[in-house]
Amino acid sequence: MWLLLSPTRLEAPFLQGEPFAFLAWRGLKGPGFVYLETGIGKVNAAMALAAYAARNPVEKALLFGLAGAYPGGPSLGEAVLVEEEVEADLGLKEGLAPLGFPALALGERRYFNRFPLDPGLTGELARGLGLKVAVGLTRDLVSETPEEALALAQRWGASLENMEGAAFARACLALGVRGAELRAISNPAGVREKAHWRTKEALSALARAVRRLLAEEGGARRPPAEGYKAMGIRPS
């Protein structure tokens, strides 16, 4: 059983199930999955996962959504799995390490600004879905210029930018949840002109990947065509 999470319902028009409410969140229950719409941003993602896991067993969790690509990163419209997330706006520009305070400590392991997703689950999904893996970077304020995006990519060695991944990855580590993250590239990071974005293609890539993932659980159902038409997406 998958716990599926996305920042907004925009990323999940293809999911069908029984609507339900859980505390502050709305969701769906379907064959092989429970889905929650977390809301945008780090706090929302971490709260939704932690609150649900406190009251329900979570076998494995997947955060999926859109992302911006840094120079040299994934192509527009491409879906990738994230193997590690960087929380770039925590501490100094160089992170928490120079201050000596980890964001998370588990036994002898200390995590400062880098949080891995579950390597076994990520590798399994990468092989099964035929997707590449990448390093993600999370911050509350997304890059507003290509120069800002390039500087972040070079400082942290990241390929894509989003607003939730590091919080999800850190929460998974703290809670002992096997977590994976799927992102599809809607735009070049730092480029705000929508003419350069490929949101429809990215949403279609997300749909294909999540449907294949659920098919392996025996829970995939083909979405109604009208659900895609409302989004301007052609189902495949």
Contacts (Cβ under 8 Å, ≥6 apart) of 229: none
Q: Is residue 234 part of a domain?
A: no
pTM of the model: 0.90
pLDDT tens sequence across 224-234: 444 434 444 44
Q: Is residue 41 part of a domain?
A: yes
Beta bridge partners of 135: 84
Q: Is residue 37 part of a domain?
A: yes
pLDDT tens sequence across 133-151: 999 999 999 999 999 999 9
pLDDT tens sequence across 55-106: 999 999 999 999 999 999 999 999 999 999 999 999 999 999 999 999 999 9
Q: Is residue 141 part of a domain?
A: yes
- ∠ CA 85-87-89, nearest 5°, is 155
Is residue 5 within 8 Å of residue 48, measured between CB atoms?
yes
Q: Where are the alpha helices (DSSP H) in 176-229?
A: 199-216, 225-229
Q: Is residue 19 part of a domain?
A: yes
| The predicted structure's pLDDT at residue 49 | 98
Reduce the DSSP state of residue 58 to 3 states and report it.
coil
Looking at the 3D structure of the chain, how many domains does it have?
1
Range of the domain at 33: 2-229
Q: CATH number of the domain at 46, please.
A: 3.40.50.1580
Band (pLDDT 50/70/90 cuts) for residue 200 is very high
Q: Is residue 112 part of a domain?
A: yes
Q: Is residue 139 part of a domain?
A: yes
Q: Is residue 236 part of a domain?
A: no
Contacts (Cβ under 8 Å, ≥6 apart) of 201: 76, 77
